[in-house]
Amino acid sequence: MSSFLEVSHVRANIEQYHILHDISFHVPKGEVTVLLGRNGAGKTTTLRSIMGLTPVIAGEITFKGEKIRNQKPHLIANRGIGYVPEDQGIFHDLTVGENMRVAMKKENEETKERMDWILDLFPDLKKFWNKPGGQLSGGQKQMLAISRAYVNDNELLLIDEPSKGLAPIVVEKVMDSIHQMKERTTILLVEQNFMMASGIGDRFYIIDDGQTVQQGQMNELKQDGVLLQKYLGIS
Ligand SMILES: Nc1ncnc2c1ncn2[C@@H]1O[C@H](COP(=O)(O)OP(=O)(O)OP(=O)(O)O)[C@@H](O)[C@H]1O
């Protein structure tokens, strides 16, 4: 198992508040790793720390063996880590096509191939190519946000709660698309929707009160009623 992204004993504050106390996990290449945990546990802050958006005060983060802790976000992104934030980060006044174009770091054959692949996966984006991003449905916005991160040659995608606020049928579509992307890129997913997470995740970590408290294979967690109840409130 290669160590692709390694997060080790990370601590982080937001202003005067201690938010992350001790976060440790690794993301193996080619897998979908899921961060689970109740509201406010520290999942989003963990992703932001990896991206250099929330300063880390202790611990280390390495990507492909190189230290990336507290580097500037654009330098971390340039290493090949794409981030789909919870609020999706799309431009509401730009069309779908413009949103895609602005996101592209390179315009070459490889990017074109990736663009064609993702548009086949999300035909709605093709259909609404000239529509402003702000006029898309919640699911379409999520698809656009994921596509913007995917279109670059990113080796790792961090995706924050892609199911948030979406109808179950749309969640299924997004889940299915992430499942297909898994063949082509490594994914670190934050997800509250356990059904979604368990359908696509290989490995899980549970974050509780700013600490990683449990880890394992997703198919084991599905059978573990005690753990599901204790940390995720699922009975
Ligand atoms: N800007 C901020 N100022 C102060 N506290 C914050 C700020 N942003 C987040 N927090 C706090 O940090 C903690 C972790 O928040 P975070 O968003 O990382 O949790 P989460 O696990 O992603 O939760 P959710 O599933 O609800 O999105 C929460 O207690 C939250 O209130």
The residue contributing the CA closest to ligand 1 atom 8 is 14
Q: In whole angstroms, what is the distance from residue 140 CA to residue 155 CA?
A: 23
pTM over 0.90: yes
167: CA distance to ligand 1 center in Å? Answer: 24
Please determine, for residue 91, whether its predicted confidence score (pLDDT) is greater than 80.
yes
Q: What is the pLDDT of residues 92-150, one digit of tens each?
A: 999 999 999 988 888 888 889 989 999 998 999 999 999 999 999 988 998 999 999 88
The residue contributing the CA closest to ligand 1 atom 17 is 44
SS3 sequence of 39-80: CCCCHHHHHHHHCCCCCEEEEEEEECCEECCCCCHHHHHHCC
Q: What is the pLDDT of residues 167-222, one digit of tens each?
A: 888 888 888 888 888 888 999 999 988 888 898 999 999 999 999 999 999 999 98
Q: Is 42 in the pocket of ligand 1 (CB under 6 A)?
A: yes
The beta strands (E) that lie in 85-210 are given as 156-160, 186-190, 203-208
Which pLDDT does position 36 carry in this prediction? 94
- Complex-level ipTM: 0.94
Question: Probe ligand 1: pick from 11, 13, 17, 48, max atoms within 8 Å of CB?
Answer: 17
The residue contributing the CA closest to ligand 1 atom 2 is 14
Q: Is 49 in the pocket of ligand 1 (CB under 6 A)?
A: no
H or E segment at 36?
strand 32-36
Please identify, by atom number, the ligand 1 atom nearest to the C-alpha of residue 39.
26
Which pLDDT does position 32 carry in this prediction? 95
Please determine, for residue 2, whether its predicted confidence score (pLDDT) is greater than 60.
no
Q: Is 93 in the pocket of ligand 1 (CB under 6 A)?
A: no
